[in-house]
Chains A and B, each alone.
Chain A
């Protein structure tokens, strides 16, 4: 496995270049090459979603994507959610509503929620539960995760309202 390939990926707004084995998983590229360890690995069968990141805006399980497949794309990881000191509404929601306990599934859970809220700014509880069903949590029982997503949805809708007249 010596034939390395050059890739360039925009990660959290920064251009990143790498020389990688074609078999290198995106999650390992993020965690081990770029030291972005917020994205976690929970299984090896694409079931748990701890490794979810946004690939060109779409939530993917980065253990099921090769780094070379992300060539030319942009990736958002949990480290890219906050803007400086200002938390993303989904991060605020998870903190406010006790949406995390051990915190291991949390980055993937927040990424899946961000994707959901992008498509559906006002989801019902059922839609939220379905939207995060590709992500497993063993600590919370999901009740407070649902509340966290609802909090974020409300907050993002408020922000939208403020932004509209400014345009």
Chain B
């Protein structure tokens, strides 16, 4: 532990020998493509597939009515709603899958897509959630009769209102967290192979949660669970977008059942981007109150949340808005209230994706922005205001007013370190001098608190499945290990990290440990990898299973050494007799004995499985500081420096953690400056491909500086917390705070993401700050 060993997964990947789903080739395999809707909202008057069926190479054409006959035209989402697989009466978003074409290869399928004749009657669409909640809005879901999905709230409204009324200063700010897409480099896809003799389905698919998918598939299709094998092969990035179940998986499976052939479906990028799950799309109105001295007294957030046409968030059941109630952030607040109203619109489903830790991203953004808005109103330095209101280190474990018990933290230490690293005081001086010369420079801070590692079974389930996770470890006679997990890496490096955990616990070299995930036939049950949960749950299970093995190994060692168990001591990889260090047995010798000479009364073999139910969530945190320079001519904001001080507790592999943080910072940067999926009033999508949706390249991406503090998690067996999402969660507020900080002297309190030159230039023009050429 704590060592930057090279990754075990890399030798295959750097040789081009990975196993991604599109690499699979089976005998007789067919290819599935989709006819998609040009309209956001339209009645389907007729579908004529004759010309498509007549095309050589076309084997099957699948419509919504075909699925209806199988009871598969609608399927349950992960959030107790239903979603269309293929429509029978109307389409509800642009680019929705309408007809599936199964053909001998992808070229023939694409040809046939152009030969399906569909007659639509366009209906008025609604793409704005505020309008969707008005009385006379078009109704997206005829089966629901309303566009209002749910109202959710947390905290005490009356007490919060009173605290606001009693405060010296109250500031309000509206802000929109735009709709974005995870844009994993590998689009979604699958290969479905149904064996009609055995009645057995094998489905290789791009899923982050293979076990949960199998259970849901068994319940929906009535294929027995033991006859469904889900395999997640190598996955080219997931970021939450591959938790959802998409029509392609279902139609490919139906295609395989109907044709008797394996069927492959791979989304083109321009199909994937506008039809798979989006992230965010949160309209937030913040209100923050304080005393004159800067003591924050209350926080109130009202949100309208746009869910698209189906409520499909992969959320824990109890938390329809995810963990948004972490919105009090790093601050010791006595009063807080938040509420969310969710709306259907004519857009694809989503919300919980893009490394968001179940809506923690939105929560952190709004609180970190509101603290800055307050600081500017008070005329107080944003760092000083934060320091004044942080939960003090000695108050942990800390019970937040909205009900979470924060495990551990030292927020002022992280901010102090970031300020020292970046030279905060000097930067403030420089900013002052530059402003006198008419140059715009801003410094933005974000001191975020995350909540990850879902989660304890008393609070966390998805569709009733408790959110434990698992590890199974088998030590074979020669001391070599095969271990399997209920999670599924999509680039996070689980093969390496989990091997390091087992190595730490059992003293077996990492090269002797094989780590497998993603095959429901072989791996123990688990809820998968998302929301930074793998190390907090399955990683902990690896520790616990190792310790069970160590307990048994001790019995075997005692037998071999003819000693009493209580007289044995453990050192890395070896039991020895207390006082006689030379008299001992290595774990490898013990493993051999477990199969060749096991003690009477003790079972043979050396293996263990653990289903780890975490006692609490983990609460990673950190402080980020961003420095921007703004060009008053072009409106471009250039990130000059960015320091990220993260605290994810004890670190297993520093190289991997650093990589996770740098990658997530880049996603946060993309969100803040470049990315957005927009819709016009008719529901036409903009940003539905890589020409229109801007992902940061190496040229725009700032040079990240990273550092850390270490505050171990008190309840995780290794003291670690999750880390994968900290920087997507924490960084956007730092970028926006920096840009607003540069402009705040002019009275500007907010600029919406993405902070593109056009928006900043417009803000400059409004205040007469823009330069001509």
Contact = CB atoms under 8 A, between A and B. Distances in A.
B697 interface: yes
B14 A91 contact: yes
B386 to A, nearest CB: 25
Contact of A102 (B106, B269, B490, B704): B490
B723 interface: no
B491 interface: yes
B13 A100 contact: yes
Contacts of A13: none
B22 to A, nearest CB: 7
A23 B186 contact: no
A142 B13 CA distance: 17
B691 interface: yes
A4 B257 CA distance: 32
B146 to A, nearest CB: 37
B236 A103 contact: yes
Interface string A1-37: 1000000000000000000010110001001100111
B6 A96 contact: yes
Interface residues of A, number: 60
A125 B704 CA distance: 13
A45 B690 contact: yes
A47 B690 contact: yes
B27 to A, nearest CB: 14
Given A45-B689, A136-B695, A142-B666, A102 B268 contact: no
A35 B25 contact: yes
A53 to B, nearest CB: 11
Given A96-B6, A138-B237, A140-B662, A78 B16 contact: yes
A133 B699 contact: yes
Interface string B735-758: 000000000000000000000000
Nearest to A90: B14
A43 B689 CA distance: 8
Interface in B678-697: 689-691, 695, 697
Please tell me the size bucket of the interface on B.
35 or more
Nearest to B697: A133
Interface string B219-239: 000000000000000111101
Given A43-B690, A104-B237, A143-B703, A136 B185 contact: yes
A138 B184 contact: yes
Interface in A112-155: 125, 128-130, 132-146
A104 B236 contact: yes
A64 interface: no
A59 to B, nearest CB: 15
Contacts of B318: none
A141 B234 CA distance: 20
B11 A95 contact: yes
A56 interface: no
A50 interface: yes
B16 A38 contact: yes
Given A37-B23, A138-B239, A146-B698, A1 B107 contact: yes
B14 A100 contact: yes
A62 interface: no
Nearest to A134: B697
A132 B698 contact: yes
B698 A142 contact: yes
Interface string A53-66: 00000000000000
A102 B237 contact: yes
Given A41-B22, A91-B14, A141-B704, 9 more contacts: A32-B105, A45-B270, A45-B690, A79-B16, A95-B11, A101-B491, A103-B9, A104-B237, A142-B666
7 contacts: A40-B186, A101-B492, A101-B660, A102-B237, A129-B698, A130-B698, A138-B667
